[in-house]
Amino acid sequence: MAEAAVDAIPTLHFPREAFEQRIARARALLQERGLSALLLFGQESHYYLTGFDTSGFVYFQCCVLTADDQPLTLLTRLPDRQQAFESSILEDVRIWYDAEGADPALELKDILDEKGLAGETIGIELDTYGLTAWNYDRLQKALGGWCQLTDASDVIRSLRLIKSDQELVHIRRAAVLADDALAAMLRACTPGTLESSITAVGLKVMLDGGGDVPPGPPLVNSGRRALFGRGISGPRPLSPVDQVTIEFASTFRRYNVCIMRTAIVGEPSEEQRDMFALTHRALDAMTEAAAPGRPLGDIDGAYREVFDAAGHQTHRWGACGYSLGATFRPSWMDVPPMLYSGNPTLAQPGMVLFLHSVFPNVDSGLAMSLGHTILVMENGREVLSNAALDFPVCG
């Protein structure tokens, strides 16, 4: 009797036709801009156009998209070859090998020459973690005078900004996981509990629910560290009377949904209740300002207006959120666009935005924050979280 075949786990998270449509739209943009090809160094671009899912972008890795209908070609290292074949629609995968003096930029040049791109204007993704300055320098040395390179970081990003109904299925699943994780993390905010233990509780809920490891670690900061905007090493145990700022992305099929809260351990003060009321009022105004056809800068304008009117302009942040999508390490932020005052980008249906109303009062040492993810709709916006915006008192 023949051995049973190993069960195949489907790794394409969208139908092949969806990828083909995305590639066609990308090629149309290249043609509009007079670009003969685009060098894709952003792992998010690889994932969006082909489904290719890897962490190998930390090395030299490039996918060549031509404006004509030549097949996409991926240049990567050997550990990613089989993954590229089985997690994407890519069929032309080339390998560069680690060796003393190896220069994958020269091997990329050979691929471009094979595609007839000598002397052509070629776009390149510069605004990405997938291309270090060192590798870009190698590219310039290899391609200088051979072709014309021009920054085209926004080509695929502009397509990714508006989410399809298929993408929204994954995003809504991530939102459910975020709500479940937040509820568990708030329950874990008890005296003596380490910040890292609260983080572990949230990650377990997300991973047990079928989610991915987020591209950035959750932020769980207590005490005076609750004022910080970034996570910090060295977990601190919660005190009987404490404050805990929690911010994280829940991730499903690489798509991220963010949520943010500051929880109070013990009896809250009147000042903390007033701070909560202010951040809540600001988040409501920000959410109302996130409407189709309005500049994204209006969202931050609403945040500023509420805080400034209350006399807290020195205690608010300089931006109040950002775009979300499918991203890889090191960040769940999918920017641009950022939500800052004066940003002229118009909100469009299909945009997914994280809005955070943050109040770090460095004078009193008290912090308060509220944040949720929204989807811009044809007639307004939808808050993707079902978590209550109640004053969170724990322990």
Distance, in Å, from the CA atom of 7 to the CA atom of 155, rounded to the nearest integer, reads: 37
Per cent of the chain over pLDDT 70 is: 97
Report pLDDT for 8: 47
Write the single-letter amino acid at 202.
Answer: G
Give the number of other CB atoms < 10 A from CB of residue 7. 5
Q: Helices (DSSP H) in the chain: which residue ranges? A: 16-33, 43-50, 81-87, 104-114, 133-143, 154-160, 165-187, 195-208, 270-289, 297-309
Mean pLDDT of 36-40: 98
CA 130 to the chain's CA centroid: 14
Distance, in Å, from the CA atom of 92 to the CA atom of 11, rounded to the nearest integer, reads: 18
- Is the pLDDT assigned to residue 9 strictly greater than 50? no
Mapped onto helix, strand or coil, the DSSP state of residue 202 is: helix
Rg (CA), the chain: 23
Query: pLDDT tier at 328 (50, 70, 90 boundaries)?
Result: very high
Is 165-394 in the same CATH topology as 16-160? no
Tell me how far CA of residue 67 lies from CA of 64, 190, 227, 281, in angstroms. Answer: 10, 57, 48, 48
CATH superfamily, domain 16-160, is: Creatinase/prolidase N-terminal domain (3.40.350.10)
Distance, in Å, from the CA atom of 290 to the CA atom of 272, rounded to the nearest integer, reads: 27
Distance, in Å, from the CA atom of 347 to the CA atom of 338, rounded to the nearest integer, reads: 12
Distance, in Å, from the CA atom of 146 to the CA atom of 142, rounded to the nearest integer, reads: 8
Report pLDDT for 6: 47
Distance, in Å, from the CA atom of 237 to the CA atom of 231, rounded to the nearest integer, reads: 15
Report pLDDT for 10: 56
Distance, in Å, from the CA atom of 16 to the CA atom of 44, rounded to the nearest integer, reads: 17
The long-range contacts involving 308-313, CB below 8 angstroms and separated by at least 24 positions, are: 310/278, 312/278, 312/359, 312/361
Report pLDDT for 11: 78
Contacts of 57 (CB under 8 A, 6+ apart): 41, 42, 43, 46, 129, 130, 328
Nearest CA-CA partner of 372 in 150, 179, 134: 179
Backbone angles phi, psi at 149, to 5 degrees: -95, 140
Mean pLDDT of 349-376: 97
Contact 297, 338 (CB under 8 A): no
Report pLDDT for 290: 98
Distance, in Å, from the CA atom of 383 to the CA atom of 328, rounded to the nearest integer, reads: 24
Give the number of other CB atoms < 10 A from CB of residue 8. 7
Per cent of the chain over pLDDT 90 is: 95
| 272-305 confidence digits (pLDDT tens) | 999 999 999 999 999 999 999 999 999 999 999 9
Q: Which DSSP helix (H) or strand (E) runs through 358?
A: strand 352-361
Sign of CA dihedral 321, 325, 330, 336: negative
CATH superfamily, domain 165-394, is: Creatinase/methionine aminopeptidase superfamily (3.90.230.10)
| 147-198 confidence digits (pLDDT tens) | 999 999 999 999 999 999 999 999 999 999 999 999 999 999 999 999 999 9
Contact 190, 238 (CB under 8 A): yes
Question: Looking at the DSSP assignment, which residues form a beta bridge with residue 247?
Answer: 219, 260
Q: Which DSSP helix (H) or strand (E) runs through 93?
A: strand 92-95
- Is the pLDDT assigned to residue 259 strictly greater than 80? yes
Q: Which DSSP helix (H) or strand (E) runs through 263?
A: strand 255-265
Q: Where are the domains of the chain?
A: 16-160, 165-394
Tell me the pLDDT of the chain averaged across its residues: 96
Write the single-letter amino acid at 164.
Answer: S
Contact 347, 286 (CB under 8 A): no
Give the number of other CB atoms < 10 A from CB of residue 326. 25
Mean pLDDT of 251-279: 97
Distance, in Å, from the CA atom of 390 to the CA atom of 279, rounded to the nearest integer, reads: 11
Write the single-letter amino acid at 116.
Answer: G
